[in-house]
Each structure stands twice: as structure tokens, then as C-alpha cells.
Chain A
Amino acid sequence: MKLDFNPNKLSKTIRRLLFLAMLFAQFACEDIIQVNVQNQSKKIVVDAFINTINKIQTIHITRSIGYFDSSRTEPPVTNAKVAIIDQTTLPGKLFVFTHEKNGKYHFTPNPLTGDTFTIGHDYALLIVIDQDTLLSLSRLHPTAKIDSIRLVDVEGNGPPINTTGKYIELIANDIKGKGDFYWIKTFRNDSFLNSIDQLNISPDMGNTSIKEDGQLFIYPVRYSKVNDFSRSFKSKETVRIEIHSINGLAFAWFNLIANENQNGGLFATPPINIFTNIVPYNETKKIGLAGFFCMSAVASASVVIP
């Protein structure tokens, strides 16, 4: 099966098609303009994607900046107290994150002392900033197993595949049973392919609208989104794929980001605020919040291009 029936993507495709159609009219045009908007609320942004990889885990806390601020330097929040609590164990096991620098809070897992996260457990993130306490919850779901990474030779003959050469295909099966969500990340020589167009998220085997489940990920997930078709893989390069388990809320969150990123043109939908799962637990004043907390189990495989 080589098609994806995600309705969100479908409407996006339609929007692009129609946009193309409008340009057919030849009279349409786009101009970059100066708009005077002020960033009314500097929101607290929590970036807390924690996984089971045995490496330093980071929670990044910053404040949002103006939309046209090209410096991209988000002011860090350095005075927070940050911890994750295992809610399944009694008493709740505490994982304390300490401030390293620039709003980055670190925790180093240690399998020897048992300071690791456990699949199936529920975790709570607690952040105290000044007098305010923020809370978020996430379950650590199991993730899919990777069978292998297959190399494929492809002839580049126009978009989307422009370059002839070696590409990869992820051979992995979805976990049996409905309601699994994954975030699949490709690393090329240890650098994450983080373009929004390659954001590869998948409900079950890649589609919620069909009955099948527990099988090979569908083609767009296992092939289209794991490659950067503008650059084929070269000899000696290392490719690593990680499958992170996420939850339905995280899937919806990622989906909105991807949609919002492609919004525009004649058939644009009104801009929206991406929701957050960080909530005020007790707040002394109304504070704007953004970001996401998600616990992930990770399956990983890598291959060196011959």
C-alpha cells in the first residue's frame, strides 16, 4: 500500500492543489510585507521530551519571543525547580533535573542505581517557577521493534525524488492493538533531520481510518518521510532511525504544528494557538504556557552505507 489516507494531510494536499490552481490564473501574486505586531504575552515554554535512552535527559524552559524576532534567542528561565515523579511506584520515585545553563535542566539516568524510566509507568512533571507550580502528566508507552533498515537504489526523475542514489526503508511492524502512536526520527551521521516536512508521526501503522493494525508501517511512514529526497545517502555515511513511542495527545500536538506550518494562501484557515499539556497547578497570577511533556520508549537501529 503506497497511499496515506490521513484526512488532515488530504485537506492539506487539496489546499496546495487549489493554491496551484489559483496561480494558474497568472494574476495572483504574493508580497512580503511589514506588519506591526507586538508579542503581547511572553509565554513560558516547556520543552520536555524525555526518553529511555541511557543519555543525559534535558528539559528546556524558555520564554516565547516576537514573531518577527529573527535573532531566535528565546530568553531562558533559569530559576525553576524541575522534577519528574514516577506515579506508579509507591512512594513516587523522584527524578530531579538540575539547571545546567541557558534554561536547560539535566538529569543523568543510571541503570546501576535504578535511576531509569520504566515502560508502562505514569510520570508527572512538576515545575516551580517563582510562586507558580506547573504540572503535566505522561505515560511511558512501549514502542515498536525495528527489524532492519533496508537500502534501496532509486533513480531520481523529478520531484519529489531529485537525486539518483541510495535511500533507506524502515522495516518495522506496529505493535498489535489499536492506539499506538510513534514519532520516527532519522539521524544522518548523528544529526537529526528536523525539517518540518520530514516530521514523521504515525498512529498505529500509519493510519487510523483503516482496520488493519500490527503490520508493516505504511509506505509514507517507512519510506517517504525517513529520507531527504534532495540528498541521497553517500558511501560511509551512518543512518540511524529511532522510533519513539508517544501518546495520542502528542500525536495531535505534532499534527497541528505540521498543519500550521503549511497554512497559507487562498484557502488558509485562521491561525491558531497550538495547545499545551503543561497546566498551572497553583498559580498566583495568570501566566501563558506553551510546550509539551512526553515520555517515550525508544527503539533504535543504524546502518553504515556501504
Chain B
Amino acid sequence: MGYTTAQNFTLNGYIQDSINRETLTKVQIIATDSDGKELRTTTNGYGFFSLTLSKGSQQISVLKPGYLSIKETLLLDKHLNRNFYLSPEAESLDLVTILANQNNNVKSLDMSTQTISGQTIKKIPSLLGESDVIRSIQLLPGVSTVGEGSSGFNVRGGSIDQNLVLMDEAPVFNSAHLFGFFSIFNPDAVKDVELIKGGIPANYGGRLSSTLDVKNRDGNKRQFQANGGVGTIFSRLTIEGPIAIPEKNLIRTPRKIPARSSFIISGRRSYIDYLAKPFLNSNLTGSQFYFYDLTAKANYSYKRDNLFISTYIGDDVFTAQGLFGVKWGNSTVTGRWNHVFNKRLFANFTYYYSRYRYNLEFMNRDATFNWQSYIVNNSTKADFNYYLSPKNNISFGFQTTHYRFIPGKAVAKSETLDLKFGLPDRYALESAAYLSNDWNANGRFSMRVGIRFSQFSYLGPGQVYVYNRIPGKQGVLDTTYTTKNGEVVVNYFNPEPRLGFKFQIDKTSSIKGGYNRMVQNLHLISNTTASVPFDVWQPTTNNIKPEIANQWGLGYFKNFGQNGEYEMSCESYYKSLQNQVDYIDGATLLLNEYLEADLLNGIGRAYGLEAYVRKATGNFTGWISYTLSRSERKVIGINDGNWYPNRFDRLHNLYVVAQYKLNKKWDLAANFVFSSGTPSNFFSGQYSVQGYVIPDAGSNARNNVRIPNYHRLDISATYTRKKTKKYKSDWVFSCYNIYNRRNPFSIYFSTNYQGKGQNAAIQFSVIGSFVPAISYNFTF
């Protein structure tokens, strides 16, 4: 054994950006003792680390891509609390880049996990020159989308509601602006983004397919700073700075002392409505069509405590005066408290409120009709990291969330009428507790074993519907009854084991594997090709069972090149899904009191292979990602009970992302996307009854035909100017879909097309031409 605490000391602290004092996540700290024995850890989501090391001289390396590494020798003869400050690469005088990753992707236990920094996102050529979080992660292996104009993203054959999208710990229910052309995350405010597709650790739960954890920046603690941009479609502005500046800073000093607290406020607003105004006909002149979002955050640190409060509010608004109005958006508030109990125990307590809402209004001269729908949740959680020993890192915690669903409240008003109707509210309580241990057996083998227990209660007050069901058929209402406030209608309890292992083959290669079971109790009810903002979120009820997924994954990780600058991974996965929600043909999903009668229950499976090569450092960076995958479903009542491909099933996905730093002024970038066509249903026959032509799909095969493949090339060039020491600006020239391809989004059928008596197949392209754009960004 040879291991006793007497000979060991703990080194702990935070790691921050040397310039603005942002805490840095996922930073590697590697300690090498005089015998060459290596121990490593990474900072947690709050930039905290703790390493227990043997007494004596230790060489400490602190590494993060995009930052200059620190190498320092410490003599450890007592417990040491020590912060490290990393300098951003761009701040260095020449373009020397230091190999920062030190085989982390090979050596860490994480698999099926991708991290992108705000910096990388900004470099990827994008639609209308506006970099975007969700559209960037759509270029990663295992991630795909139905097409432009579809909200959300699909991970490893999962539907869009199976991704847990977190913004500063609060879940958001619709991450899209403008039907998915942009996401709600303002890249200027984003610190980093982590997408976990498999081997999902026990602290995450509630969705089947992935976790997208977006962490926003805390704000510059040293000096006031503003940055923003003027683009073709919207403008952005971010202001950040210290609150309560230390007195010493009021005297001009070259290196200002960071404040204890800072803030960041970041906003965007689109101006499509102003641009479109001249093109609108007279009865649409009063129309508005825009989105906005505002992200604000403040923090305060004192000794062992950090407090954060952050909020997001955003809406998409689309109204035509006197005709209709549509509005939808998320809002969140998160409060967090980090506390370092002792050198090995770190805790974070979170409260969040998250709401998604949409509102629909129709009007004419005499009457108005207004319909609103909400999903509101309040949650508290506690997460602990306990750095037990050099070989064991334990994390544990619990969470409880209260949900309120307001599926539809409608008001119809006219001179003679004031009618209120809609669907009854629904309530639910979800709780979870987890425990996980990262165990480093020896240099070669390490393992993560975790368990999460989740519990979901569908609560009163409300109406409970009991249906008689024949599989595959519409349910027949048996009874309904009313429940009292807080009365439990039904309880579901699910254990969710999580497992991961790593076997180190040599310094630059390893094999990793994992298993995870996930449970989902919120279901997005949608039967359209693309998800619409009006899709209804439903809780698990007595009629809708919790969705369950089991995923197995195995991967090979290898770094190569002169300095190991190329990272390569090859991963395979198999996922089996239970209680997938589908619909009877012709189901009515909106304002339908008996919606559950129209829902069918099926199973799913998804499997695939992902290959990924990335060059993270140097003047030339980028990645190639290829995914071979299948995603299928089997539901009694659909497709004669046989397996059929999901609407978002794509066999091949090839993404190439390349960025080249030409010189100090010019950056060039390009990306190429190829995806196999998605499946669709085609009509094959027709007949007429009572003079009405009725199309016919023949046999009941669902998604039996493929629409053509999708491919696209985007390019961009960025010209950076440094006017003064503080004022920096850049111009981004970009072109999306440069070879002008009309990528089909869907093919649909028009019976009696334009009233000419002919039936037609129509290919619908959301973006049917190349889209050039210029945008201007600044920082001062």
C-alpha cells in the first residue's frame, strides 16, 4: 500500500484567466513527483481543483487549449491553497503556441464528450456571419439536424427533446431563435460549451440522449470592457466589468487588482422587421418580426465562497397588426453558491427558475382570440465534489424540481362574448440523488462508477383521464376524476446506473468504454417535420410512461503527430430506448383535452460509429468528423408494427471544419457538411370521393422514401484591426452555401396543385441560395 495520509498534502485552488480573472473549467493540472510518477485532475465547472500529493518536490503543469501553459515546481511540505492564472495565447507577443492538451483526451475518463470554447465557436463560418453555439455543435460527431430551420439538434439518433440544454445550470426548453437559424446563446457571453453524448456522469439526468452544458462568462474582474457586433440580421452588445473596484485601482497601476465581484450584461436584437418593411404590402406594414435576448450575470467572491446570480430572458415576436401575433421565449434565473468546506470538499448549491412560454393571438375587427401556454419549473440542487484520495474522487448530490405545465389557456373576446377555455394545468415533482466515484486504479486503468436514483410524481390538482387501450389504436376514455392539490396520481422510481472505464495502452492511446441508463419524464409532443415553437411539453402521467434509454459505448483514442497535435478518436455506440412517444395518424396535438388517447408507445434503437480527427493547435486548426449511424423506431399501430427510420435518421454525416491563421490580420475558415437524406413518406396513389381528390400513401409504411442528400460549403475571412491598445475590431466576410445548392428540407405533395387539377411533388428548401454577409465586431 504505502499510502498514509501523514505523507500526503493537498494542493487546491481555483484556476483563472490572468487578464479578466474568469474562472476556467476543464483545466488540467498534472503533478509529477521526483520519481516521475504522474497524477492529474481537471478543474470542475467552477474552476476549482484539489489534488492530494505526496510530500516533496512536485512539478505542476497547468494546461488548457487556447492558453499558455504553466510549469512550476512546488515544494509540498504542508497543505497548500493556491490559485493559478493562465494567460490567453492571443496575448502572447508572437504566434508561439504551446502544446496544451498533453493527451488529455486520451488520459481522461470522459468519453463521447466534446468541449468547444466561445473562441472556437466564433471562428466557424456561419449563416449571415453570426456565430452560433447550436449550429457549431451540429458539426460535431454524432450530432445532426433535420435541416436549416429546424429547432434543436439530434444526438446519436435521439429526438430534439432528448437533449438536456443547460444555461448556467437552468434547463431551457427551446434553444432556438427564428426557427433554429440561431440559438438563444449569445456567443459573446458564452464561456464554454460541453456536449456529453455518452458515458453521461451521474450528476446529469432527465433526458435520454445528451447534455449540452453551456456556461456563461462571469464578467471581467479587472476593468470595464465592451464588445459587440453589427451584423446583417442582428446586433450584439456586451458590457462587463468589476463591481466595487478596489481602492488601489483608482490610482493608475499597470496591473489592476481584481475586484471581489463583477458583472456582465449581454444583449442582442434582430432587425429583420425594419429591413423587410419596404417590401411588405400595406396591410402588413404594422408588422413586427424580431427576436431579442438578454443575458446578465453578477458574482461575488469572498475567501471560500463564491456567489453567482444569472438571468436570461429572450423572445421571438412575430405580429401583423390587426391580424395575428405570435410570441415565444424562455426566461431563467439561477442563483448559485460555491463553498469550499475544506481542502478536499467542494460544494455548489443551486436554485433556478426556468420558464418557456408561447402566446398566440388572432384578431379581426370584431373579436380577438388569445392563447397562452407555459412550462414553469423551480428547482434546488446541491452538488458535492469530495477529493477523497489521489485515487478516488467522489461526487454526490441531490436535486428536486417542481413543474407546472399550462398546456393552453385561451380567451376569446368580442363585443358580446368573453369566453375563457383551455386545458387544465398539470403539476409534477421530480427528485434525484446521485453518487459517483472516479477511481484511478493505477496509471493504466481507471473507472467511473455512478448511480442516480430518479423519482417522478405526477401531482394534482387536476383532471386525471383513464383510457382503455388496444395497442396501436386510439384510447377510449374510461373514466376521469379530479385530484386535490398535491395529491399523487402516479409515482415512478428509476435507478440509473452509470459506468465508464479507461484502459491506457500507452502514453498516446487508450481504450474507453461506458454504459449509461437515462430516464426522461418530460416529453415534447410534435408530429411535424420540424419542431415548431408551439409544440407541447407533457409530463409523464398515468398514461405516458417515463422514457428510458440504455446506452453502451466503446472507443479508441489516439494522439499522433510530432507533438501529439492531432487527436483522433473512434467511438461506437448502441442505444435501446423504451416508451418512445408516437401518434396515431391524424392526431390533434393542440388544445386537445384527450391528447393522451392519441399517443402511442413504442421502442427505439440507435447505433453508430463516430470517427473524429482534430488539430487543436497551430496556425492551421480544425477537425474532420464522420458518423455512420441508424436511428429506428417500432410502434404497434405504425408501419404494421415493423421497424421504421426516425425522421432525423441520417446514415452518413461528414463534417470538415478548417481554420487558418494567415497572418496577424487575416483569418480564413471553411466548413463542409455532407449528410445523407432524411426519410420521408411519399404518396403513391389517389382517388376521389364526392368530387374531393384524396391522396393515398399505399401500404402504411412510415418514412419509407429518402429525400436527396444534403451538402454545403461555407467560407469566411476575418480581418482584425488593433487600433489602440484597448480598441480592437474585426470585419467578418462570409458566404454560407457558397456553391448555391438547393438542399431539400422536405418533399411534400400538393394534391390539386394551385387548383390546376394536377398533383405535384414539391421540394422545399429552406435555404435555396448562397447567403453572403458582412458583420463588424468590436472590443474596447
Chain A contact residues, CB within 8 Å of chain B: 1-3, 5, 7-8, 10-11, 13-15, 17-18, 21-22, 24-25, 27-35, 37-43, 45, 47, 49, 62-70, 72, 74, 158, 192, 194-196, 199, 209-210, 252, 256-257, 259-261, 263-275, 290-292
Complex-state Cα separation, A81 to B769, whole angstroms: 58
Contact assessment for A264 and B750 in the assembled complex, using a CB-CB cutoff below 8 Å: yes
A268–B529 touching, CB < 8 Å: yes
Q: Are B689 and A291 neighbours in the complex by a CB distance under 8 Å?
A: yes
B246 at the interface (CB under 8 A from A): no
- Smallest Cβ distance from A188 to chain B, in angstroms? 14
Q: How far is the CA of A261 from the CA of B688 in the complex (A)?
A: 13
Assembled-state Cα–Cα distance A93/B611 (Å): 73
B662 proximal to A (CB < 8 A): no
Residue in chain A with minimal CB distance to B585: A272
Would A10 and B414 count as touching, CB distance under 8 A? no
A40–B703 touching, CB < 8 Å: no
Are A29 and B685 in contact, with the CB atoms below 8 A?
A: no
Are the C-beta atoms of A196 and B752 separated by less than 8 Å?
yes
Give the top 8 A-B pairs by smallest Cβ distance, nearest first: A29-B768, A272-B585, A7-B591, A64-B687, A264-B748, A35-B761, A267-B528, A45-B687
Contacts of A158 in B (CB 8 A): 283
Question: Chain A's nearest CB lies how many Å from the CB of B718?
Answer: 23
CB-CB under 8 A for A41 and B690, given A7-B590, A18-B532, A32-B760: no
Q: By the criterion CB–CB under 8 Å, are A194 and B692 in contact?
A: yes
Contact of B692 among A28, A33, A199 (CB under 8 A): A199
What's the least CB distance linking B327 to chain A, in Å?
12
Asked whether, in the complex, the Cβ of A68 is within 8 Å of the Cβ of B759, the reply is yes
Instruction: Evaluate whether A45 and B689 lie within 8 angstroms (CB atoms) in the complex, with A1-B414, A31-B762 already known.
Output: yes
Tell me which residues across on chain A come within 8 A of B362, comparing CB atoms. 3, 13
26 contacts between A and B (CB under 8 A): A1-B412, A3-B362, A5-B369, A5-B412, A5-B421, A7-B588, A22-B766, A24-B276, A29-B742, A29-B764, A30-B764, A31-B765, A32-B762, A33-B762, A39-B685, A43-B687, A64-B685, A67-B686, A67-B695, A256-B586, A260-B695, A264-B764, A266-B746, A268-B748, A270-B703, A291-B687
CB distance from A194 to the nearest CB of B (A): 4
With both chains docked as a complex, state the minimum distance between the C-beta of A115 and any C-beta of chain B, in angstroms: 23
Bound Cα distance from A62 to B696, whole angstroms:
14
Residues of A within 8 A of B699 (CB): 40-41
B517 within 8 A of A: no
**CA distance in complex: A264, B683 (Å):** 13
Check if A261 sits within 8 Å of B751, measured CB to CB. yes
Q: B651-694 CB contact bits vs A (8 Å, 1 = yes)?
A: 00000000000000000000000000000111111111111101
* Interchain pairs with CB closer than 8 A, number: 238
Find out whether the CB atom of A257 lies under 8 angstroms from the CB atom of B685: no
A28/B589 contact (C-beta < 8 A), A5-B421, A67-B759 known: no
Interface residues on B, range: 35 or more
Query: Which of B416, B681, B700, B702 has the most A CB atoms < 10 Å from its CB?
Result: B681
Inter-subunit contact B761/A290 (CB<8 Å): no
Residue of A nearest to B690 (CB): A49
**B749 at the binding interface (Cβ < 8 Å):** yes
Task: Determine the residue in chain B with the shortest Cβ distance to A254.
Answer: B692
| Nearest opposing residue in chain B for A44, CB measure | B687
Task: Give the Cβ gap from A14 to chain B, nearest Cβ, in Å.
Answer: 6
Known: A210-B421, A268-B746. Contact between A21 and B179, CB under 8 A?
yes
Pair B412/A37 contact, Cβ less than 8 Å = no
Cβ–Cβ contact A22 & B149, under 8 A = yes
Which residues of the partner chain A approach B685 to less than 8 Å between Cβ atoms?
A: 39-43, 64-67
Q: Is B776 an interface residue (CB 8 A)?
A: no
CB pair A47 B698 closer than 8 Å: no
B609 CB within 8 Å of chain A: no
In contact, B683 and A267 (Cβ under 8 angstroms): no
B733 at the A interface (CB under 8 A): no
Minimum CB–CB distance from B326 to chain A (whole Å) comes to: 7
In the assembled complex, the Cα of A154 lies from the Cα of B218 at a distance in Å of 62
The verdict on B613 contacting chain A, using a C-beta distance below 8 Å, is no
* Chain A residue contacts of B680, Cβ below 8 A: 270
Q: Judge if B364 is at the interface, Cβ distance under 8 Å.
A: yes
User: Which residue on chain A has the smallest CB distance to residue B283?
Assistant: A158
Contact of A267 among B532, B694, B761 (CB under 8 A): B532
Chain A residues contacting B366 (CB-CB under 8 Å) are: 2
B534 interfacial contact with A, CB 8 Å: yes
For the complex, give the distance between the alpha carbons of A151 and B382 in Å: 70
Tell whether A62 pairs with B276 under 8 Å between CB atoms, given A3-B367, A269-B528. no
In the complex, the answer to whether A27 meets B591 with C-beta atoms within 8 Å is no
Taking CB atoms, residues of chain B closer than 8 Å to A252 are 586
Contact A5 B410 (CB under 8 A): yes
Q: Residue B491 at the A interface, CB < 8 A?
A: no
Complex contact B419–A210 (CB within 8 A): yes
Contact of B589 among A3, A11, A74, A256 (CB under 8 A): A11
Instruction: Check B527–A266 contact: CB distance below 8 A.
Output: no
Separation of A265 and B530 alpha carbons in the complex (Å): 10
A276 to chain B, nearest CB (A): 9
List CB contacts (< 8 Å) of B299-329 with chain A: 318, 324, 326
Shortest Cβ gap from B684 to chain A (Å): 5
Report A-chain residues with C-beta under 8 Å of the C-beta of B532: 14-15, 18, 267
Within the complex, the shortest CB–CB distance from B303 to chain A, in Å, comes to 52
**CB of B324, distance to nearest CB on chain A (Å):** 6
Contacts of B755 in A (CB 8 A): 195
Bound-complex Cα distance A63 to B696 (A): 12
B766 touching A72 by the CB < 8 A rule? no
A45 / chain B contacts, CB cutoff of 8 Å: 687-689
In this assembly, does B445 line the interface, its C-beta being within 8 Å of a C-beta of chain A? no
Cβ-closest chain A residue relative to B749: A271
Q: Is the CB of B763 within 8 A of A266?
A: no
B360 interface residue, CB < 8 Å from A? yes
Residues of B within 8 A of A24 (CB): 272, 276, 289
In the assembled complex, the CB of B205 is this many whole angstroms from the nearest CB of chain A, namely 31
B758 on interface, CB distance cutoff 8 Å = yes
* Cα A165 to Cα B748 with chains together (Å): 37
CA distance A259 to B545 in the complex (A): 29
Contact residue among B369, B694, B750, B753 (Cβ-Cβ distance under 8 Å from A257): B694
| In the complex, B6 has a CB within 8 A of chain A | no
- Chain B nearest CB: distance from A156 CB in Å? 14
User: B421–A273 contact, CB under 8 A?
Assistant: no
Q: A14-B532, A265-B748, A271-B682 are in contact. Are A21 and B289 (CB under 8 A)?
A: yes
Determine if B687 and A267 form an interchain contact, defined as CB atoms under 8 angstroms apart. Answer: no
**Is B747 located at the chain interface by the 8 A CB criterion?**
yes
Which one of B696, B747, B768 lies within 8 Å of A43 (CB-CB)? B696
Whole-angstrom distance between the alpha carbons of A158 and B688 in the complex? 33
Inter-subunit contact B749/A266 (CB<8 Å): no
* A274-B771 Cα distance, complex, nearest whole Å: 40
Q: Tell me the smallest distance from the CB of A210 to a CB of chain B, in Å.
A: 7
Do A266 and B689 contact each other (CB < 8 Å), given the known contacts A17-B324, A28-B767? Answer: no
Contact between B765 and A29, CB atoms less than 8 A apart: yes
Known: A17-B318, A43-B687, A271-B682. 20 other contacts (CB 8 A): A3-B364, A10-B590, A14-B532, A21-B289, A27-B768, A28-B765, A41-B699, A49-B689, A65-B687, A66-B684, A66-B685, A74-B687, A264-B764, A265-B746, A265-B748, A268-B528, A269-B529, A270-B647, A272-B697, A274-B696
Q: Collect the chain B residues with CB atoms within 8 Å of residue A63's CB.
A: 687
- Residue on B with the closest CB to A74? B687
> Are the C-beta atoms of B696 and A21 separated by less than 8 Å?
no
